[in-house]
Amino acid sequence: MRVLLLGGTTEAAAMARALAEAGVEALYSYAGRTSTPRPQPLPLRIGGFGGAEGLAACLREGGFTHVIDATHPFATSISRNAVASCAAAGVPLLALERPAWAQAPGDDWTPVQDLAAAAAALPRTPANVFLAIGRQNLDIFTGLPHRWLLRFVDPEPVPLPRASRVVDRGPFTSAGDMALMRDHRIQIVVAKNAGGDGARAKLDAARALRLPVVMVQRPAIPARETVASVAQAMVWLHRTPPAERGV
Dmax of the chain from CA atoms? 59
Domains 3-98+220-239 and 109-216 share a fold: yes
CATH 3.40.50 corresponds to the domain 109-216: yes
Our measurement of the distance from residue 11's CA atom to the centroid of its chain's CA atoms, rounded to an integer in Å, reads 10
For residue 156, the model assigns a pLDDT of 79
Alpha-carbon dihedral sign for residues 145, 109, 178, 14: negative
Backbone angles phi, psi at 220, to 5 degrees: -75, 140
CA distance 144 to 154: 25
CATH 3.40.50.720 corresponds to the domain 3-98+220-239: yes
Tens digit of pLDDT at every position of the chain (247 positions): 999 999 988 899 999 999 999 999 999 998 766 656 678 899 999 888 999 999 999 999 999 999 999 999 999 999 999 999 999 999 999 999 999 999 999 999 999 999 999 999 999 999 999 999 988 899 999 999 999 999 998 887 888 999 999 999 878 999 999 999 999 999 999 999 999 887 899 999 999 999 999 999 999 999 999 999 999 999 999 999 987 765 4
For residue 155, the model assigns a pLDDT of 85
Contact 122, 190 (CB under 8 A): yes
For residue 35, the model assigns a pLDDT of 57
Contact 86, 57 (CB under 8 A): no
- Write the pLDDT tens digit of every residue in 133-189: 988 899 999 999 999 999 998 887 888 999 999 999 878 999 999 999 999 999 999
Q: Is 207 left (phi over 0), alpha (psi -120 to 50) or beta?
A: alpha
CA distance 70 to 95: 6
CA distance 90 to 240: 13
Domain assignments of the chain as residue spans, ordered by start: 3-98+220-239, 109-216
DSSP-derived secondary structure letter, 186: -
For residue 93, the model assigns a pLDDT of 97
